[in-house]
Amino acid sequence: MQEDLSIYRYYNDQLEYHERYTRHNFLAQRLMNILMQANWYKRILCNKHFVMPKNSIEIHKNRFGRYKAIVDTIATEMQQLNINFNEQRFNKIQTILTKIQNYED
């Protein structure tokens, strides 16, 4: 009887780890997509020949505000999953997004 329970616990632990790992991969991919979009917008904004109208600047700031909120949500979920979480990395990402949002280099 004890042997059956240990096999069940092992299987349950493996299933739980697989679910956490799958969720972590999904969140990592989502984070990568946000960073690629931010990098694309940064390249456009750093173009010396490109001047943004006032309305576009407000849209840009709102967009990066949403990006920062999504990164916070991803950081919280990754911290709960406890797989390969690095708080300094997320702080650095937030700093970079803030700089792009405020047109700093």
Query: What is the tens place of the pLDDT at every residue in 47-91?
Result: 777 777 778 778 888 888 999 999 999 999 999 988 888 889 999
Own/partner pairs, 84-91, CB within 8 angstroms, 24+ separation: 84/24
Confidence of residue 46 (pLDDT cuts 50, 70, 90): confident
Q: Which is higher by pLDDT, 54 or 36?
A: 36
The string over 67-76, giving b where at least 16 C-beta atoms fall within 10 Å of a residue's C-beta and e elsewhere, is bbeebeebbe
* CA 50 – CA 6 distance, rounded (Å): 64
Whether residue 10 is predicted with pLDDT greater than 80 in this model: the reply is yes
What is the rounded end-to-end Cα distance, in angstroms, of the chain?
65
